[in-house]
Amino acid sequence: MKVYIDGKYLDERNAKVSVFDHGLLYGDGIFEGIRAYNGRVFKLKEHIDRLFSSAKAILLEIPLSHAELMKATVATIRANKLRDCYVRLIITRGIGTLGLNPRSCKKPSVIIIAGKIQVYPAELYARGMDIVTVPTTRNLHSALNPAIKSLNYLNNILAKIEANNAGVEEAVMLNSEGFVAECTADNLFIIKDGKLFTPPLSAGALYGITRQTVMELAEQNGVAVTEPNLTRYDLFNADECFLTGTGAEIMPVIKIDGRVIGTGKPGPLTQKLVAEYHALTKVTGQPIYG
Ligand code: PXG
């Protein structure tokens, strides 16, 4: 595997960063997770836009333009001769001194890895997932805004550990007011009486690109979509529930905190959205090989 680091393609054995990089020392940096399907990069512009928004929020100057970063992403996939893959883009504050002052970092580092990802066991897509709410809440907007896709994912990792300790794969994270925010790397949706609901960004959800795509697909199917604050009660009494993310795609949920959701099987509207999402990923996106 060839890894892009600051304009060079390095063999994976030599793809290393300094122990003085503030991305490692302080989680000072940002990332994106992108996927390519069938020789096309899905929603590339949207991911690069979100990366620049994260950079803006943490006062990090990405040393490439929007267009250059899109080109470098596609070129890294090409250098690895891939057609279906997962791409991780990372921008760190760069190499600095011991001490958290970002002014000691002279130049941000750009890393692009094109590989594979399997976020959940394959059999769960057919069966549906059992999830639980966990004690760790989403970060406050006023502390570390959860809209920033920063290299500091400890908040989500703690929630993931709590879910694993409870014997399930995924956690529902609530915000400090007790409203549903999202899962550790996925947005959450419920269906009730034929309508689709997902928590608002103000509840602590990430501006998910899969979330946006699913909302558009639902609307094209005449399904009303709204973003109200949701409580655990709303989840328990939903007809259907599913998670969305670049890595996970669309994952049906069949149990939350021991309550069976709907019929206890992936629901009909969830299955329709899964089929339409898969169809869309195969035909849209930035071509990798011209
Ligand atoms: N919430 C959080 C906290 C995320 O990190 C999503 C929602 C879904 O957003 P998108 O734009 O992907 O629909 C994410 C995305 C990984 C991995 O390494 C994480 C994400 C995406 C891809 C891979 O586990 N997080």
Residue nearest to atom 19 of ligand 1 (CA): 185
pLDDT at 257: 98
Spatial CA neighbour of 73 closest among 115, 113, 29? 113
Q: How far is the CA of 209 from the centre of ligand 1 (A)?
A: 9
Atom nearest to 119 CA in ligand 1: 24
Q: How far is the CA of 98 from the centre of ligand 1 (A)?
A: 30
Mutation test of ligand 1: which of 90, 201, 246 has the most ligand atoms closer than 8 Å to its C-beta? 246
Q: How far is the CA of 186 from the centre of ligand 1 (A)?
A: 5
Distances (CA, A) of 200 to 91, 129, 181, 211, 225: 27, 23, 8, 11, 11
Q: What is the pLDDT of residues 245-275, one digit of tens each?
A: 999 999 999 999 999 999 999 999 999 999 9
pLDDT at 183: 98
Atom nearest to 183 CA in ligand 1: 1
Domain 2-115 and domain 122-282 have a common topology: no
pLDDT at 80: 97
Ligand 1 close to Cβ of residue 76 (< 6 A): no
Residue nearest to atom 18 of ligand 1 (CA): 33
Residue nearest to atom 9 of ligand 1 (CA): 208
CA–CA separation, 180 vs 203, rounded Å? 7
- Token pair, residue 265, equals 């099987």
Q: Which helix (H) or strand (E) holds 41?
A: strand 40-42
pTM for the model stands at 0.97
pLDDT at 290: 83
Contact between residue 155 and residue 138 where contact means Cβ atoms under 8 Å apart: yes
Atom nearest to 182 CA in ligand 1: 1
Beta-sheet strands, E only, within the chain: 2-5, 8-11, 29-37, 40-42, 85-92, 109-115, 129-133, 170-174, 180-182, 187-192, 195-197, 225-226, 240-245, 249-256, 259-260, 286-287
Low-confidence ranges of the chain (pLDDT < 50): none
Q: How many helices and strands in the chain, by DSSP H and E? A: 8, 16
Atom nearest to 33 CA in ligand 1: 22
Ligand 1 close to Cβ of residue 156 (< 6 A): yes
The answer for residues whose C-beta is within 8 angstroms of residue 13's C-beta and 6 or more apart is none
Residue nearest to atom 20 of ligand 1 (CA): 185
CA–CA separation, 123 vs 125, rounded Å? 5
**DSSP label at 178?**
S
Q: How far is the CA of 245 from the centre of ligand 1 (A)?
A: 5
Ligand 1 close to Cβ of residue 199 (< 6 A): no
Any idea which fold 122-282 has?
A: D-amino Acid Aminotransferase; Chain A, domain 2 (3.20.10)
Ligand 1 close to Cβ of residue 185 (< 6 A): yes
CB atoms within 10 A of CB 143: 9
Q: What is the pLDDT of residues 146-185, one digit of tens each?
A: 999 999 999 999 999 999 999 999 999 999 999 999 999 9
Contact between residue 220 and residue 269 where contact means Cβ atoms under 8 Å apart: no
Parse the chain into domains and list their residue ranges: 2-115, 122-282
Atom nearest to 35 CA in ligand 1: 22
Catalytic residues: 149
Ligand 1 close to Cβ of residue 50 (< 6 A): no
pLDDT at 119: 84
Domain 2-115 has CATH 3.40.640.10: no
Residue nearest to atom 8 of ligand 1 (CA): 245
